[in-house]
Amino acid sequence: MSRQQRRLSSMPDKDVVEGKLKQAEGKAQDALGDVTGNTDDDLAGKAKQVEGKVQEGVGRVKDAVRDDLNRDRV
């Protein structure tokens, strides 16, 4: 495995990072909805958390596939 391949395989897919960010945003929005009593913010925050978890999962699958492909090339 080349140096570049090792570096790329150790970096998480952008969907993993973006998914975690969406989860954090969703938690903040959910908490804001709880504090203010705004059910729209509460529900939107929960939905954003789910969206982030799905996106993170997609990124993890992409990481696993990329790692398997790189392992087969060695």
pTM of the model: 0.80
Q: How many domains, the chain?
A: 1
More confident residue, 10 or 62: 62
Instruction: Check whether 1 has a pLDDT greater than 70.
Output: no
The predicted structure's pLDDT at residue 74: 62
* Domain coverage including residue 69: 3-73
The pLDDT score that the predictor gives to residue 9 is 61
Give pLDDT tens digits for 2-48: 666 566 567 889 999 999 999 999 999 999 999 999 999 999 999 99
The reported pLDDT for the residue numbered 50 is: 99
Q: Which residues contact 19 (CB under 8 A, 6 or more apart)?
A: 51, 52, 53, 54, 55, 56, 57, 58, 59
